């Protein structure tokens, strides 16, 4: 099955990215025809500096390669290296009702968070639809908060097919539900925009210090605690073995447990979890040309698919010369 997902280059991956999406992407590539891209066009909606977007793209690519991306099997590329997507976005825009975009909650949420309401942010779902549809994607793994965008993609594809014939594959979403929202150090969803992240490959000492600063409630040490309402325990569930996790649950409920003890153990487990990948990540840091080569190779493979789809679409709408 053709699986597609995009990753925004907004900085190095943090553990929320990994447990919320990256790990599932890497697992899905084994049994599927996986297409994964670095969404640098999408990142432009927040107006990053040219230096930032270039470096973040390499960082995210190196992180994925380090964590187990199969560079031979999986098609992995930089979005802007497949320019056919932008032409296709315009063609899809011409069948997309304004009302469909106005109903998208993600735009309203971003504006409420202080993002500048530019056209790119408003039209983001159309570019996302082009990303998905131009590669004949069948399955799109997303978090529950992205479900509406896939529904918009399906709506756009149906409208196009109704107007021009059964050309575009209608995708379906694969909601990633195996992991709950990963809390950041302040208790909110881990996000770079909140400044509450723990990066996968930041120095181990820094990881430990950030974990010790995770926000907890003021329940006294001697009192019982509810593990399911604790930010530290939510992260512990990601890296602890079931037997150890059960022991911590019992200690929470019995009372007499201080949060500092749990944080210390969480820091040890989190560092140990990613330690095997650190050497390879350091090697890629010193060899950015290899990362660029992987992205260039992926772009060639992605363009081969995109150009075929775009040719069919151009022909269908009357731009391919058939009607002349």
> Tokens 């990948």 label which residue?
277
pLDDT reported for residue 321: 63
What sections of the chain are H helices per DSSP? 15-17, 23-28, 40-43, 50-67, 84-93, 98-102, 105-112, 119-122, 124-133, 147-164, 204-212, 231-239, 242-254, 259-285, 288-317
Judge whether 110 counts as a catalytic residue: yes
CATH number of 201-283, picked from 2.60.40.420, 3.20.20.210, 3.90.950.20, 1.10.240.10 = 1.10.240.10
Q: Fold for 2-181+288-317, please state it.
A: Rossmann fold (3.40.50)
Token reading at 238:
């990601």
pTM of the complete model: 0.91
CB 320 within 8 A of CB 98: no
| Torsion angle in degrees (nearest 10) through CA of 144, 52, 119, 192 | 30
Answer yes or no: 108 catalytic. Answer: no
What is the location of CATH 3.40.50.620 in the chain?
A: 2-181+288-317
Domain with CATH 1.10.240.10 in the chain: 201-283
Q: Is 189 a catalytic residue?
A: yes
Q: What is the pLDDT of residues 313-323, one digit of tens each?
A: 999 999 976 65
pLDDT in tens, 220-242: 999 999 999 999 999 999 999 99
Please pick, among 192, 237, 280, 297, the residue that the annotation labels catalytic. 192
68-94 tens-digit pLDDT: 999 999 999 999 999 999 999 999 999
Residues 6+ apart with CB under 8 A from 88: 130, 133, 134, 306, 309, 310, 313
**Each residue's pLDDT tens digit in the chain (324 positions)?**
999 999 999 888 999 999 988 999 999 999 999 999 999 999 998 888 999 999 999 999 999 999 999 999 999 999 999 999 999 999 999 999 999 998 888 788 877 877 778 898 899 999 999 999 999 999 998 876 678 889 999 999 999 999 999 999 999 988 776 555 799 999 999 988 889 999 999 999 999 999 999 999 999 999 999 999 999 999 999 999 999 999 999 999 999 999 999 999 999 999 999 999 999 999 999 999 999 999 999 999 999 999 999 999 999 999 976 654
Q: Among the options 73, 108, 147, 189, which is catalytic?
A: 189
Q: Catalytic residue among 73, 110, 237, 297, which?
A: 110
């Amino acid at each position: 099955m053709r699986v597609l997902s995009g990753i925004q280059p907004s900085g190095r991956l943090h553990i929320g990215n990994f447990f919320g999406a990256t790990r599932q992407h890497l697992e899905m590539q084994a049994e599927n025809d996986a297409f994964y891209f670095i969404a640098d066009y999408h990142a432009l909606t927040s107006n990053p500096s040219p230096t930032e977007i270039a470096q973040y793209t390499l960082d995210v690519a190196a992180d994925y390669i380090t964590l187990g991306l199969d560079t031979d099997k999986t098609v992995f590329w930089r979005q802007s290296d497949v320019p056919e997507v932008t032409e296709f976005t315009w063609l899809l825009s011409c069948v997309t009702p304004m009302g469909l975009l106005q109903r998208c909650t993600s735009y309203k949420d971003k504006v409420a968070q202080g993002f500048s309401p530019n056209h790119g942010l408003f039209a983001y779902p159309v570019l996302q639809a082009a990303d998905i549809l131009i590669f004949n994607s069948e399955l799109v793994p997303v978090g529950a908060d992205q479900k509406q965008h896939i529904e918009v993609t399906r709506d756009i594809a149906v409208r196009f097919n109704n107007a021009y014939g059964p050309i575009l594959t209608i995708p379906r979403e694969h909601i990633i539900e195996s992991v709950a929202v990963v809390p950041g150090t302040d208790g909110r969803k881990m996000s770079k925009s909140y400044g509450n992240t723990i990066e996968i490959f930041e120095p181990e000492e820094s990881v430990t210090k950030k974990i010790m600063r995770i926000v907890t409630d003021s329940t006294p040490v001697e009192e019982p605690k509810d593990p399911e309402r604790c930010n530290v325990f939510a992260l512990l569930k990601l890296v602890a073995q079931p037997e150890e996790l059960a022991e911590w649950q019992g200690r929470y409920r019995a009372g007499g447990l201080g949060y500092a003890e749990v944080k210390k153990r969480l820091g040890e487990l989190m560092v140990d979890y990613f330690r095997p990948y650190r050497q390879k990540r350091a090697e890629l840091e010193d060899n950015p040309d290899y990362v660029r080569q992987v992205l260039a190779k992926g772009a060639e493979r992605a363009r081969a698919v995109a150009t075929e789809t775009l040719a069919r679409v151009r022909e269908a709408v009357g731009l391919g010369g058939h009607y002349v």
